[in-house]
Amino acid sequence: MTETQEKILDTAERLIGEQGYAATSLRQIIAEAGVNLAAVHYHFGSKEDLLDAAVVRKAGPVNEARIAALDRVEQEAGEGQLDIDDVLDCFFRPMADVTRRNQKFVRLMGRIYSEGLMPQIVQKHFQPTMGRFLAAFRRALPELPEEELLWRVHFMVGAMAHTMCGPSSLPGLMDAPVDIPRRIERLQAFLSGGFRAPIAAAGEKK
């Protein structure tokens, strides 16, 4: 990894996290990184591939930590049932941990999910991890039908994405201090209740 590549990745991570992908031009990135425009395409191929590389660099370790935590919890549980809160903890704690050292990256992660851009990137880098966690959720909530389980994980991802990227748009939260780990704790408690909720009756009318 050359110095040029690292300067580009660092700057892209910061600017895209702050402003969003669409709002950040390659020309702004290269200006702040002090490199040439063509260097971006030489090293990364395209703007989208640059984002991909920036994600991969930091998301890899987070997902590894998630899997490691899940391995430990599953081993402790043996053949028995898993606790949904333990599973959520395996998923969110590594993210909270990395946030304590690097706020920039979590912003970028939120952008990726919530700008709706490139499901491919999410797919490519998070799908293996999600597969492991889906299995764990199944073990924690065996009474939940498969389709309902998938939707609940989908809701979880949506709430997480919206929560990660920047301050809330709700008036009372705008000027709240940016304490991401605390934010994640709140989210985890909320999701725990959601996963445990009884299933909605189909076609329910009040």
Residues that bind DNA (CB under 7 A): 2-5, 24-28, 35-39, 41-43, 45-48
Angle, helices 119-140/103-114, rounded to nearest 10 degrees: 100
Residue reference for tokens 């920036």: 54
Q: For residue 133, which of 141, 108, 105 has the smallest C-alpha distance?
A: 141
Q: Which does 4 bind (CB under 5 to 8 A by kind): a second copy, DNA, none?
A: DNA
Secondary-structure percent of the chain, ordered helix, strand, coil, rounded to 5: 75, 0, 25
| Tally: H helices and E strands in the chain | 9, 0
User: Smallest distance from the beta carbon of 61 to DNA, in angstroms?
Assistant: 24
Binding-site string for a second copy from residue 13 to residue 32, where x marks contact by CB under 8 A and - marks none: -------x-x----------
Say if CB 9 and CB 104 are below 8 A apart: no
User: Smallest distance from the beta carbon of 104 to DNA, in angstroms?
Assistant: 19
Stretch binding a second copy (CB under 8 A), from 29-37, 41-49, 56-64, 192-200: 192-200
Say if CB 63 and CB 91 are below 8 A apart: no
Binding-site string for a second copy from residue 61 to residue 100, where x marks contact by CB under 8 A and - marks none: -------------------------x--x-----------
Identity at 191, one-letter amino acid code: L
Q: Which does 65 bind (CB under 5 to 8 A by kind): a second copy, DNA, none?
A: none
Interacting residues of 57 by C-beta distance below 8 A, sequence separation 6+? 9
Residue 111 binds to a second copy (criterion: CB under 8 A): yes
Residue 202 binds to a second copy (criterion: CB under 8 A): yes
Structure tokens at 188: 């985890």
Say if CB 104 and CB 14 are below 8 A apart: yes
Q: Which does 122 bind (CB under 5 to 8 A by kind): DNA, a second copy, none?
A: a second copy
User: Smallest distance from the beta carbon of 113 to DNA, in angstroms?
Assistant: 20
Residue reference for tokens 């591939």: 49
- Point out which residues bind a second copy (CB under 8 A): 20, 22, 86, 89, 111, 113-117, 119, 122-123, 127, 130, 134, 146-148, 150-163, 165, 168-173, 176, 182-183, 185-204, 206
